[in-house]
């Protein structure tokens, strides 16, 4: 056998991910909010791009100008039109004055709420100083994060004085604020109730772990009382708030869902609308477009710069349109495949995977995955993430598959209608589902029950 080196020519095909292709892939994967942020950044980086917020009349007039292919700009006429400069003439319209006192920059925080009560309840300056220090060491859940001894040492005051001020804070609204642990928080709330329940206080002090585990009979045996009385005390304890400060959570943490697609029912048919109302409109800046029309008047460096930016802007606009078309086609296919769900509800949701949608549209599975990632659809039945419709399932007696969401719905309905004194065990639920033709194991039932946030049978039992 002879070893050597040879030169050969070979033709191969391979996909090279260019920066433009990577950009198109990212745009497809963006949600509406993420895409809006991306476009705002793109406008800052590319002077050829501009955002347009136009009325229908302005849009129609702009379209007519584009169709006429007249790119020359009459600057005198442009500056004479006040609307283009942000100045809108008032043609006799009378605007109603709205007092600014009705608006606030932010909702009051827990510390603001406690500080206001402290100023009303305490007059002594020294006690106010101690109270402000303690309130400043209360976390967002309403718990005190410093001990009385540490506060006394920091403020150089006797510990009994700190305790006295702490008791004042613990009497404030919301009930339970200023506690140092969960037991103290619950005890404060029980003491502020009009009805005094010594049994509930004993359970909170000594049997809180057993209560969390649902061991009602064990608690009743230790306290030498009936299980029904323990159950009543348990209901009272469960009505308390273990985190009293969370009702004053920061309003900035609230996240609102903006649906990327809207599905509406019109005369028995479902219409798919891509929601791009909140997304900024992109266009080519007419000033730079006029410059390119007279490129011979400028040097080669200027022309090359503008042509590069114009190509990048055109690619972004094309990528956005391609995203819109792909998203529409994917959701249209999902609606057609899940028609029974839209007609009758979640129990009729059928198992679906990315490959099935990709085969119908003749695109790759990864494209479907990116088109549905981090996106929501608004339907007559509510707002759902697009990934919700790609549900796994189990086989039934007829050889067909039933989606996991449908089975969860059936499990929840069974538990809602059960006898609370004899709750259904996971094994019993499994047998009931098998009777209905759904082949499922007890372990899978326990898994679905846990995903629904439903406790086990021994914790659901009522006495």
What confidence score (pLDDT) does residue 331 get?
94
Tell me the pLDDT tens digit for each residue of 328-385.
Answer: 999 999 999 999 999 988 888 888 889 999 999 999 898 999 999 889 999 999 999 9
Mean pLDDT of 113-134: 91
Eight-state DSSP code of residue 143: B
**First-to-last CA distance in the chain?**
88
Task: Read off the tokens for 358.
Answer: 């990709």
Residue 439 DSSP label: -
Residue 313's contacts (CB-CB under 8 Å, 6 or more residues apart) are: 46, 48, 49, 282, 284
Checking if the pLDDT of 75 tops 60, the result is: no
Query: Across residues 299-317, what is the average pLDDT?
Result: 83
Report how far apart, in Å, the C-alpha atoms of 311 and of each of 83, 304, 305, 412 are: 30, 11, 10, 55
pLDDT tier at 59, thresholds 50, 70, 90:
very low
**Residue 45 CB neighbours (<10 A):** 9
Given a cut of 60, whether residue 69 has pLDDT beyond it is no
Is residue 92 over pLDDT 90? no
Q: What is the pTM of this model?
A: 0.66
pLDDT in tens, 177-202: 999 999 999 999 998 887 778 899 99
List of domains in the chain? 110-248 (no CATH), 263-389 (no CATH), 393-460 (1.10.10.60)
């Amino acid at each position: 056998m002879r070893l050597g080196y040879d030169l050969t020519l070979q033709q191969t095909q391979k996909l090279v991910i260019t920066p433009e292709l990577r950009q198109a892939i990212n745009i497809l994967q963006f949600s509406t909010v993420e895409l809006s942020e991306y476009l705002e950044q793109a406008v800052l980086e590319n002077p050829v791009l501009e955002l347009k917020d136009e009325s229908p009349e302005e849009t129609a007039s702009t379209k007519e100008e584009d169709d006429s292919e007249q790119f020359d700009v009459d600057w005198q006429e442009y500056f004479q039109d006040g609307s283009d400069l942000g100045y809108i003439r008032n043609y006799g319209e009378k605007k109603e004055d709205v007092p600014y006192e009705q608006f606030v920059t932010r909702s009051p925080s827990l510390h603001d709420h406690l500080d206001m009560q402290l100023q009303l309840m305490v007059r002594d300056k020294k006690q106010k100083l101690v109270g402000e220090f303690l309130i400043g060491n209360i976390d967002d859940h309403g718990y005190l994060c410093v001990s009385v001894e540490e506060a006394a040492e920091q403020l150089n005051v006797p510990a009994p004085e700190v305790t006295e001020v702490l008791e004042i804070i613990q009497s404030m609204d919301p009930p339970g604020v200023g506690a140092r642990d969960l037991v103290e928080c619950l005890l404060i709330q029980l003491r502020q109730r009009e009805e005094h329940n010594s049994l509930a206080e004993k359970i909170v002090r000594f049997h809180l772990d057993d209560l969390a585990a649902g061991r009602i009979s064990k608690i009743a045996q230790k306290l030498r009382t009936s299980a029904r009385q323990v159950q009543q005390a348990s209901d009272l304890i469960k009505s308390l708030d273990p985190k009293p400060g969370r009702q004053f959570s920061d309003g900035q943490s609230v996240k609102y869902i903006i649906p990327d697609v809207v599905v509406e029912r019109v005369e028995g048919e479902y219409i798919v609308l891509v929601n791009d109302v909140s997304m900024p409109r992109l266009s080519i800046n007419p000033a730079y477009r006029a410059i390119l029309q007279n490129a011979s008047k400028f040097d080669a460096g200027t022309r090359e710069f503008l042509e590069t930016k114009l190509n990048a802007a055109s690619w972004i606009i094309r990528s956005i349109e391609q995203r819109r078309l792909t998203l529409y086609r994917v959701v249209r296919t999902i609606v057609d495949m899940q028609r029974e769900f839209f007609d009758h509800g979640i129990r009729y949701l059928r198992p679906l995977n990315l490959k099935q949608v990709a085969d119908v549209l003749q695109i790759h599975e990864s494209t479907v995955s990116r088109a549905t990632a981090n996106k929501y659809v608004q339907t007559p039945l509510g707002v759902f993430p697009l990934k919700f419709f790609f549900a796994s399932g189990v086989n039934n007696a007829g050889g067909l598959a039933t989606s996991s969401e449908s089975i969860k719905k059936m499990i929840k309905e069974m538990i809602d209608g059960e006898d609370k004194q004899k709750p259904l065990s996971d094994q019993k639920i499994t047998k009931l589902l098998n009777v209905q033709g759904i082949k499922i194991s007890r372990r899978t039932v326990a898994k679905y029950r846990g995903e629904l946030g439903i406790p086990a049978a021994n914790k659901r039992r009522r006495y």
